[in-house]
């Protein structure tokens, strides 16, 4: 009995001390603590700094202990264009529910609204960022989460604007549910592995909706990339998975839904590419599986630039693209099988749902357009149809082994819910 009491006492004591230990510091315009930095200074490890609604004109707020910085009713931190606003230099920091505006622009250092430097276990969520240079900048930081932030930039020129969410040398970070608009690159990754990027919306960005380089073993799913200057670019990465994304309306002379450069062993499944100038532009990418994607009304569904080997295109829908596939050489080592092509004109006598005549997705005209781009103006002309037909009968300029032996007769129904 006495022993139990002792234990109870002991537990009570511990909880009690924890309660005391995790105190809350309240910051508001009429409180005794008037600035966020002061609140952070007064707090100790594990505390919560609660910031009430109001405008706080501060910059260079340094969070150097593991606290929760919590905004109530979206308080505004106005950096007044003076520089960086929130800098996290401690492990296990949470920043939640702020509106951060007016990040300074500099050509020598990348000022960010929120920056994490070499720390782990951060959680950055529910932020509204406006008038920014860089948005959320993660630097050599691991095991963190960036959730449900709303980043709205006003970038006009590439050289004096920054990225929405930038990851540099990070590992095991989750980026989910963010909405990034009008910045240079919506989400940018460099040398970052095991990152999961999902349910984000990235649109109207100057350059790329999503841009990553030298980042392996990453997963991108359920994102929407819309109307970005040059779409999405993924370069020099291995073992990337891109599933259930939507790439649409990336229009322009150098715009792609998805640009793959030196990507190996990736999986690209269940994506929708709609109304892009080029759906996927592939360069030097090997062993990639393209399955169950929809390519709808693109200028070029897939443009293969060369040095692409052992890629697998299966079960995709190619609907009303001006060009289905374009090759710039007549060598082919990629496999096309069981896709649906809306331009297919064959028949199915044995009624097994697969066309009896193989389909040749590369047209002579796409080869001509590659050589002389101005000829694009002759698209869909009768003369072009005639030469395409003759090339189809006996291929000379296009790869003669590039055929889909089993073209589907009906649109493949992908469950997109």
Partner 1 sequence: MLKILKYSFYDLMRSRWSYVYFLFYLLLGVVLLFLNNDLSKAVITLMNVIIILVPLIGTIFGVMYYYNSREFTELLLAQPVKRSSIFLGQYFGVATSLSMSLVIGLGMPFVFYGIFNSSAIWDFSLLLVTGAFLTFIFTALAFVIALRNENRIKGFGYAILLWLFMAVIYDGIFLMSLLYFEDYPLDKFSLVATMLNPVDLSRVLILLKLDISALLGYTGAVFQKFFGTNFGLILSSVLLIFWVVIPTFFIWRIAKRKDF
**Closest CB 179 distance from partner 1, rounded Å:** 25
Q: How far is the CB of 242 from partner 1 (least distance, A)?
A: 21
Please, are residues 333 and 310 in contact by the beta-carbon 8 Å criterion? yes
How far apart are CB 323 and partner 1 at their closest, in Å? 7
Q: Which is nearer to partner 1, 157 or 371 (CB)?
A: 371
Which CA distances in Å does 115 have to 112, 118, 194, 206, 386? 6, 10, 20, 22, 59
Residue 239 carries which DSSP code?
A: S
Cα–Cα nearest to 88, from 111, 60, 107, 58: 60
Name which of 84 and 388 has its Cβ closer to partner 1.
388
CB of 337 to partner 1, least distance (A): 23
Contacts with partner 1, residue ranges (CB under 8 A): 251-255, 275-278, 297-300, 319-320, 322-323, 342, 368, 371-386
Q: Nearest 5°: phi and psi at 304?
A: -100, 120
Does residue 150 contact residue 128 with C-beta atoms inside 8 Å? yes
* 146, burial (CB in 10 Å: exposed 0-12, middle 13-18, buried 19+): buried
Q: What share of the chain is helix, strand, coil (3-state, %, to 5)?
A: 15, 35, 50
CB of 150 to partner 1, least distance (A): 29
Alpha-carbon distance of 206 to 16, in angstroms, equals 53
**Cβ neighbours for 314, distance < 8 A, ≥ 6 positions apart:** 289, 290, 291, 292, 335, 336, 337, 338, 339
| DSSP element (H, E) containing 117 | strand 112-117
Nearer to partner 1, 98 or 225 (CB): 225
In a 13 Å sphere around the CA of 76, the CA atoms on its Cβ side amount to 11
Residue with tokens 């990453």: 218
**Closest C-alpha to 224, from 208, 244, 238:** 244
Cβ 102 to partner 1, closest distance in Å?
34
Pick 306 or 373: Cβ nearer partner 1:
373
Least distance CB 384 / partner 1 (angstroms): 7
CB of 321 to partner 1, least distance (A): 8
Helix (H) / strand (E) element for 14: namely helix 2-21
CA angle (216 as vertex; 213, 219 as ends), nearest 5:
100
Q: Which is nearer to partner 1, 263 or 368 (CB)?
A: 368
Comparing CB distances to partner 1, the nearer of 16 and 373 is 373
For partner 1, the closer of residues 374 and 415 by Cβ is 374
Calculate the dihedral angle through the C-alpha atoms of 332, 335, 337, 340, rounding to the nearest 10 degrees: -60
Nearer to partner 1, 134 or 300 (CB): 300
Alpha carbon 142 to its chain's center = 18
Supply the minimum distance, in Å, between the C-beta of residue 417 and partner 1. Answer: 22
> Least Å distance between CB 75 and partner 1?
43
Task: Compare residues 210 and 364 and give the one whose CB is closer to partner 1.
Answer: 364
- CA-nearest of 295, 325, 296 to 311 is 325
Nearer to partner 1, 8 or 379 (CB): 379
The DSSP code for 59 is -
């Amino acid at each position: 009995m006495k022993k139990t009491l002792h234990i109870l006492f002991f537990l009570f004591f511990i909880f009690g001390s924890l309660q005391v230990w995790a105190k809350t510091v309240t910051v508001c315009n009429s409180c005794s603590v008037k600035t966020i930095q002061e609140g952070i200074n007064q707090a100790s490890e594990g505390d919560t700094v609660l910031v009430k609604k109001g405008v706080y004109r501060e910059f260079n707020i340094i969070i150097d202990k593991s606290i929760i910085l919590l905004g109530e009713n979206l308080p505004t931190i106005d950096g007044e264009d003076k520089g960086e606003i929130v800098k996290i230099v401690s492990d296990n920091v949470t920043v939640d529910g702020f509106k951060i505006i007016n990040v300074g622009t500099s050509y020598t250092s990348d000022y960010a609204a929120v920056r994490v430097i070499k720390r782990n276990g951060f959680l950055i969520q529910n932020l509204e960022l406006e008038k920014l240079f860089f948005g959320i900048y993660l630097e050599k930081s691991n095991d963190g989460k960036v959730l449900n932030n709303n980043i709205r930039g006003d970038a006009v020129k590439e050289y004096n604007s920054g990225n929405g969410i930038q990851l540099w040398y990070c590992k095991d970070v989750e980026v989910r549910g963010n909405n990034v608009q009008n910045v240079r690159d919506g989400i940018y990754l460099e040398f970052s592995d095991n990152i999961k990027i999902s349910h984000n919306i990235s649109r109207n960005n100057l350059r790329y909706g999503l841009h990553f380089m030298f980042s392996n073993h990453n997963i991108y799913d359920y994102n929407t990339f819309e109307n970005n200057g040059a779409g999405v670019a993924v370069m020099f990465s291995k073992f990337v998975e891109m599933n259930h994304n939507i790439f649409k309306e990336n229009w322009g002379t150098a715009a792609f839904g998805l640009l793959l450069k030196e990507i190996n062993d990736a999986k690209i499944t269940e994506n929708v590419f709609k109304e892009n100038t080029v759906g996927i532009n592939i360069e030097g990418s090997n062993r990639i599986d393209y399955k169950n994607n929809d390519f709808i009304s693109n200028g070029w569904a897939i443009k293969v630039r060369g040095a692409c080997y052992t890629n697998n295109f299966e079960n995709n829908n190619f609907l009303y693209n001006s060009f289905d596939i374009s090759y710039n050489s007549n060598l082919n080592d990629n496999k096309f099988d069981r896709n649906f092509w809306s331009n297919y004109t064959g028949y199915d006598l044995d009624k097994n749902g697969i066309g009896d005549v193989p389909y040749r997705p590369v047209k002579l005209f796409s080869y001509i357009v590659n050589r002389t781009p101005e000829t694009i103006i002759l698209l869909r002309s009768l003369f072009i149809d005639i030469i395409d037909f003759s090339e189809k009968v006996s291929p000379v300029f296009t790869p003669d082994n590039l055929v889909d032996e089993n073209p589907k007769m009906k649109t493949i129904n992908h469950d997109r819910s």
